[in-house]
Structure 1
Amino acid sequence: MPDSIHAGHAKRRLPEAGLPGVADARVLPDDSFEAAWSSVFLADELKDRLLQTVASNIRLRATVPFEALPLHGVVLLTGRPGVGKTTLARGLADKIARVVGGLGHWAFIEVDPHALASSSLGRSQRSVEALFGQLLEEQAGQGPLVVLLDEVETLLTDRAALSMEANPIDVHRAVDAALVGLDRLARRHPDVVVLATSNFADAIDPALASRADMVVQIPVPDRHGRRAILEHTIAAIVAAFPGAAPLLGGAVLDHAAQISEGIDGRRLRKAVAAACANDSCDPERVTADDLYASLQRTREQL
């Protein structure tokens, strides 16, 4: 790890592990997050547009008044489970830290929205207020920050779809508190980026979507993407089990990509693992037919 990153650890006071609502906290750049960016196979122009938009908006927010250009630093990634939204967000956080310099050492906080919910009246609202008004505010005061709100619909549920009888008023107030917290961070800290992901875009409160500077739906991989994912996964297996090398043949990969239409990236990788569970239970002896059969079974389960 570069010396500058070690220095960042000394200068950034990260939240302690186990604090309510904090799933992860680290200093960026981070090598494992860099690998995450490379493992998501999307069109290069989409990944470039994500990074360029965030980097440009950070500079705009630092110089143009919020009233004239209400940028919140929020990027919303939506799409089916398994398409790589969370992995992409972590990789994007790393890229931001590497590309946008001159602001100090970047920190990354991943929020666990499920830990903020409570059946006790008023507690969810207080937890959300503490997260945004204290923890994230303190981190933003130290320097640039990327916040990941994974499964954001848990935290910012569409209030119009909530029943006042079935849902306590605390849920509504917690959503209000989260929106107020986002507004406060946006106005006070132009070097805070919020990356939000959701499997259920229709369940998100429209007020969050209106605050997003960019909304991107991550698609199920096309044939080229599926081929790249399969090759990446199989190559990792071959590194440990060289006998699986025939699966890296061009014709095998082409056919596997062709018959796997509609399968998301996570299931593609699991299908490769399932192919290794052949009659011999030996990855060294996995065959192309094992792979094809596994992909077919996966498609039938969609």
Structure 2
Amino acid sequence: MGLGNDVSNLPKGIHRRWDLPEPALGALWDSILMDECHKTQLLSQAVMNFTVRPKVSRDVIPLHGVILLVGPPGTGKTSLARGLAHRVSQLFHNSRMQLLEVEPHSLTSSAMGKTQRAVSDLFSQSIAESAANGPTIVLLDEVETLAVDRSKLSLDANPIDIHRATDAVLVQLDLLAEQYPNLLFVATSNFPEAVDSAFTSRCDLIMEIPLPDQAACEQILRACLGGLAKTYPDVAGLIKSPRFGDCANACVGLDGRAIRKMVANALAVDPQTAINPNTLSIDNLLSAARYAKEQRIQRI
């Protein structure tokens, strides 16, 4: 077991630390259903960070060791990033690799200069120390919190400090790229338009994680119902129903998280079904899927 469940005595800004490989993270990689070609590209880019960067001058290939995953909420970017760390570590059998998860909101402060200092300390001390001890992957979730687009800052919420915090991120990325070729950042963003262009210019790969297509929706729904059927066996019959495809089609436009929550909502359609999920029906699923899509459209 890695250190993922041990969050005590971690430096400010580090939410969690994992020793790799970690099978629990590998399960996350497998759970994200997307084009396998894109998964292979993502894995290959991450592996190249640890093979090519230490050997080739940045004058030849200016790698920064940064991958950015963008896409709507619920598409699995964070899970994919965690699973990627596990998969990369599996390919380097003799290396002790770690995954650090950054909590960006813990670094922000309304006090002038404190956010900038917290960001600088995190990168130059905590992350650098880990990289000095061995190959390290850092997950920067919601990176727009730390690298906000400076061109869009208003006069609200202490923009000078936010501006300086973004400057600090960029400076530290450059310094760490020079000093630690065994360091890889995997950043995520639900709002890539809010990320500073100077940050995106430093990314070696920007990959969009889209909403699942019909085939992926079917796989997610099948996996969810199959898991539910381990406890409530009658649910398995829904997967074999001739109308199962209609349910999958009704899920198109939802993200993977929303599809699984939709199944939970279908179980709560009435007290009888909630008491005995074995009575779940295709009609329950269709109604829940349509409602979930209506709510999504309203939010948009």
TM-score, scaled relative to structure 1: 0.92
Question: Of residues 132, 138, 154 in structure 1, which corresponds to 2:123?
Answer: 132
Matched with 2:40 is 48
Question: Of residues 274, 290, 298 in structure 2, which corresponds to 1:296?
Answer: 290
Matched with 1:110 is 101
Q: How many residues align?
A: 291
Question: What is the CA deviation profile of residues 129-183 of structure 1, one whole-angstrom value per residue up to 9, with x for unaligned ones?
Answer: 1100100010000000010000000010011111356534221111111111111
Counterpart CA distance in 1 for 2:244 and 2:12 is: 45
Matched with 1:242 is 233
Counterpart CA distance in 2 for 1:166 and 1:128 is: 17
Question: What is the CA deviation profile of residues 107-131 of structure 1, one whole-angstrom value per residue up to 9, with x for unaligned ones?
Answer: 0100000000001111101100110
Q: CA deviation at 1:16?
A: 4.2
What residue identity is the alignment partner of 1:205? D
Counterpart CA distance in 2 for 1:107 and 1:57 is: 15
The 4+ residue runs of structure 1 with deviation greater than 2 A are: 14-19, 163-168, 250-253
Q: CA deviation at 1:262?
A: 0.7
What residue identity is the alignment partner of 2:13? G
User: Secondary structure of 2:268's match?
Assistant: coil
The structure-2 alpha-carbon separation of the partners of 1:160 and 1:38, relative to structure 1 and needing over 3 Å to count, comes to same
Alignment of 1:162-201 (within 5 A): 162-164=153-155, 166-201=157-192
Question: What is the CA deviation profile of residues 70-101 of structure 1, one whole-angstrom value per residue up to 9, with x for unaligned ones?
Answer: 10111100001111111111111111111234
What residue identity is the alignment partner of 2:123? F
User: Secondary structure of 1:63's match?
Assistant: coil
Matched with 2:141 is 150
Counterpart CA distance in 2 for 1:186 and 1:127 is: 19
Q: CA deviation at 1:65?
A: 0.8
Matched with 1:283 is 277
Matched with 1:88 is 80
Q: Is contact 2:244-2:282 (8 Å) kept?
A: no
The structure-2 alpha-carbon separation of the partners of 1:17 and 1:169, relative to structure 1 and needing over 3 Å to count, comes to same
Question: Of residues 248, 253, 256 in structure 2, which corresponds to 1:265?
Answer: 256
TM-score, scaled relative to structure 2: 0.93
Q: Is contact 2:232-2:277 (8 Å) kept?
A: yes
Q: CA deviation at 1:253?
A: 3.0
Cα RMSD of the aligned pairs, angstroms, is 1.7
Counterpart CA distance in 2 for 1:165 and 1:270 is: 36
Question: What is the CA deviation profile of residues 198-247 of structure 1, one whole-angstrom value per residue up to 9, with x for unaligned ones?
Answer: 00000000011101000011110000000011011111111111121112
User: Secondary structure of 1:231's match?
Assistant: helix
The structure-2 alpha-carbon separation of the partners of 1:15 and 1:82, relative to structure 1 and needing over 3 Å to count, comes to closer
Counterpart CA distance in 2 for 1:299 and 1:15 is: 37
Query: Unpaired runs of 5+ in structure 2?
Result: none
What residue identity is the alignment partner of 1:47? K
Query: What fraction of aligned residue pairs are identical, expressed as a percent?
Result: 40
What residue identity is the alignment partner of 2:146? L
